[in-house]
Amino acid sequence: MLTDTRVALPPQRRLAALATLADHRGFAVLLLLAAALRVVTMLAYRPATLYWYDSFTYLDTAVHPAPSATFHPIGYPLLLRGLLPFHSVELVAAVQHVIGLGTGMLLYAVLRRRSAPGWVAASATVPLLFDASFLRLEQAVLSDTQFVFLVVAGLAVLMWSPRLSVRAAAGAGLLFALAALTRTIALPLLLLVVLVLAVRRVGWRPLVALVLAGSLPLAGYAAWYARHHGRFAISGADGVALWARTMTFADCARIQPPPDLARLCPNGTKVDAASEYVWSPGASLNRLPGDRFTHNDLARAFAIDAILAQPLDYLGDVARDTAIAFSWTPIPHPERVTPAFGFRSGRWELPDQPLVDKVRREYDPDIRGLSSVSPYADFLIAYQYAAYLRGPFLGLILLLGGIAAVRRPGVALLPWAVATGLLIGPVAVLDFDHRYVLPVIPVACLAAALVQAPAVRTGPRRA
């Protein structure tokens, strides 16, 4: 005789399971709505947003893995290479939408783990899940979505338990290393995380584990980079970026550079943002013989001299550009970019470039210009004006995170410090860009939500 081997849950456990589901019902509804929005986005703009030249460089590196001598390390091309057998940039966009949803789930989970009320934890995920700017990023072949996920995952691992274990510290170090190999701005973030944990006195073993797990992948990549480019480094553009930052204030009469660096002094060329000096044909760096990135070391030396000679001018420019993030109306910086509300109707053809044809042959034969599809695009065009986090609200979120960091430094100081570093870091080493502000938002929300979290005892408890 056949018997039913299924074991029914006791009534008490069934009630507990139902109570748990009910406790997360609000977030489940938000997650379903966010998933529906992402389906609409994929239907509205096909096949995916491809930017010249970033997207095509990423796709080409995915087919031919090698360390880039410019701004693009290997982290994001590795994700694209994992999806290469499917030969579809539409699948890339779909995976990135799933990653965006996963990042929201991580935010919610770590906040509930640290005793934040359900409505607070769910509210903290709203900007990430519903801001139209994140929908646009996830639909584009760009590294930002992966970068945001890795940073939030690293913080989640560090914050999951009141006491940081060696294993958790090592896992977080690896995640931050992967973030640095996705976007190099995470390199100083890793140092910032170590500093905050040292201030919190988490113990020398977790700190050592974090440093080793974070350093070894970076060292391995730097050695690989040295084999290709003859220099032990992560990027070949850090000096060029910092030089461009100094072009907004550098005064060679005060810097008094040696003759080899004097060639990089401002030459009267004017652009509307520091980052534009990297590409401006008239800028002094671009008038030197050879490719601009072959002068990376020279550019770094000039930039350091300029900052040391004019520290207040440097800090003033960084503060002025950072303040753009808090404006109510998005300010184009540089003027050629669309800082927000980028969903539009139309068709956008790809540039006539050999790299485009190469990527089409090797990665996805169906790569073509982007087209909007009604009525889905019409909905998103109207939706984006309401679903945009205005600058003053970002300022308020950061303020709440700062209050939480003061009240509960053991849990909130780390995400607030990382959010601040993500906001100021890109401006300090290159320039402000609204796209660079987006990773700040979920991390700042994580810190701000901890204002409502009760203090967690880390000492021994009675049985």
User: pLDDT for 192-207, tens place per residue?
Assistant: 999 999 999 999 999 9
pLDDT at 457: 45
Name the DSSP class of 390: -
Name the DSSP class of 7: -
pTM over 0.75: yes
Give the integer Cα–Cα distance in Å for 156 and 22. Answer: 23
Where exactly are the structural domains of the chain? Answer: 27-233+334-394, 237-333+395-456
Q: Which helix (H) or strand (E) holds 380?
A: helix 376-386
pLDDT at 10: 65
Whose tokens are 């084999």? That residue is: 227
pLDDT at 339: 82
Q: How far is CA 92 from CA 55, 83, 137, 227, in A?
A: 12, 7, 12, 30
Q: What is the DSSP string of 132-196?
A: HHHHHHHTBSSSHHHHHHHHHHHHHHHHSSSS--HHHHHHHHHHHHHHHTT-TTHHHHHHHHHHH
For the record, the structure tokens of 224 come out as 């690989």
Closest Cα partner for 163 from 121, 126, 120, 201?
201
For the record, the structure tokens of 428 come out as 């300090």
409: left (phi over 0), alpha (psi -120 to 50) or beta: alpha
pLDDT at 14: 58
pLDDT at 459: 41
pLDDT at 338: 83
For the record, the structure tokens of 170 come out as 């090592």
The answer to whether 89 and 426 have CB atoms below 8 angstroms apart is: no
Q: Which residues of the chain have pLDDT under 50?
A: 1-7, 456-463
Closest Cα partner for 295 from 274, 278, 276?
278
3-class DSSP assignment, residue 371: strand
The answer to whether 151 and 189 have CB atoms below 8 angstroms apart is: yes
pLDDT at 236: 87
Burial call 223-237: b when 16+ CB within 10 Å, e when fewer: eebeeebeeebbbbb
